[in-house]
Amino acid sequence: MPALSPEELYLFDTTGFLVVREVFSPAEVDRFRKELDALHPVDPGFANTRRYHDLPATSELFAQLGRDDRIVHRVREVVNQPLRMLEGYGLRRGPDSVLYLHGGNSELLDLGNGTVGRDMSITHTYHDGRLFCPYVKSLVYLSDIASPDDGSFCYVQGSHKANFPLLRPRAERGARTSLIDEGFPTLTDVFVGAGDLLLLNEALMHGTRRKRTPGDRLLVAYGYGPTYMADWRELDGETGDLRGTGYVDHDVEEDFVHP
């Protein structure tokens, strides 16, 4: 039996993401939270945020979670190629933390030899009844996120199929306020509960609202793609740095580009 229904595939295709409710039980959520408590996070450079790097290598529990059929069977139906896990990490965010918008099908990228308008690592297609997405992320929520003030996931509608850039033209006009704070006509929030799974096409422009409530916002994330994708060292990107972390971190760019 397919892991995703026709309606779920339709939603993933047209919105760029899919929320599956109550995939993991409260007991499992509690176990995942306790496992993160026993690990050592690092400071990724964002306010009141801690990141747990490379969870599949540091925790057998999270290595197993990354192979869990409840995640992998769903991912397979939107990658539709021999599958590889690309990354696995956790994020613990406190008050005043934020994750700026990133992604987008046609956002401009500065490379060493010029600027391009299409990131082929997230370019997806449809053929013969199947979706072929090269970079799909699964977010396992370990906290309830019931309002924008909880730091909700947000996205720009249709941006995974956009043909025009949004962020660079704003920067060129002198915009300095993040869309996360300023708003945009199609910037939309998604609310989830602990144990929910959010399946994400990384081509979707997405981020999170600024967290204004007390307590932690906690999740575990895994990235998947075809086997021709591999762990690699980032040499190009808007930040222009050589990170050498063994995986690509697409979650660190602000949603405006410095000229």
pLDDT digits (tens, 9 = 90+) for 102-143: 999 999 988 878 888 889 999 999 999 999 999 999 999 999
So what's the pLDDT on residue 199?
A: 98
Task: Give me the chain's average pLDDT, please.
Answer: 89
Residue 71 phi, psi (nearest 5)? -95, -55
Q: Name the band, by pLDDT with cuts 50, 70 and 90, for residue 248.
A: very low
pLDDT digits (tens, 9 = 90+) for 15-42: 999 999 999 999 999 999 999 999 999 9
Question: Which DSSP state fits 40?
Answer: -
So what's the pLDDT on residue 252?
A: 32
pLDDT-wise least confident of 43-47, 90-94, 199-203: 43-47
252-256 mean pLDDT: 36
Domain boundaries, the chain: 16-226
**Spatial separation of the C-alpha atoms in residues 185 and 74, rounded to whole Å:** 31
So what's the pLDDT on residue 231?
A: 66
For residue 251, pLDDT beyond 90: no
So what's the pLDDT on residue 247?
A: 30
For residue 54, pLDDT beyond 50: yes
So what's the pLDDT on residue 234?
A: 60
189-194 mean pLDDT: 98
Q: Do the Cβ atoms of 78 and 133 come closer than 8 Å?
A: yes
State how far Cα 15 lies from the chain centre. 14
For residue 146, pLDDT beyond 80: yes
Q: Name the band, by pLDDT with cuts 50, 70 and 90, for residue 233.
A: low
State how far Cα 116 lies from the chain centre. 22
So what's the pLDDT on residue 253?
A: 36
pLDDT-wise least confident of 2-6, 10-14, 190-194, 197-201: 2-6
So what's the pLDDT on residue 204?
A: 98
Percent of the chain with pLDDT over 90: 76
**Spatial separation of the C-alpha atoms in residues 185 and 205, rounded to whole Å:** 14
Q: How many CB atoms lie within 10 A of CB 22?
A: 11
**Spatial separation of the C-alpha atoms in residues 236 and 76, rounded to whole Å:** 29
- How many residues are recorded in the chain? 259
**Spatial separation of the C-alpha atoms in residues 72 and 69, rounded to whole Å:** 5
pTM of the model: 0.88
In this structure, whether the domain defined by 16-226 belongs to CATH 2.170.190.11 is answered with no
What one-letter code names the amino acid at 125?
T
Question: Which DSSP state fits 147?
Answer: S
Residue 149 phi, psi (nearest 5)? -65, -15
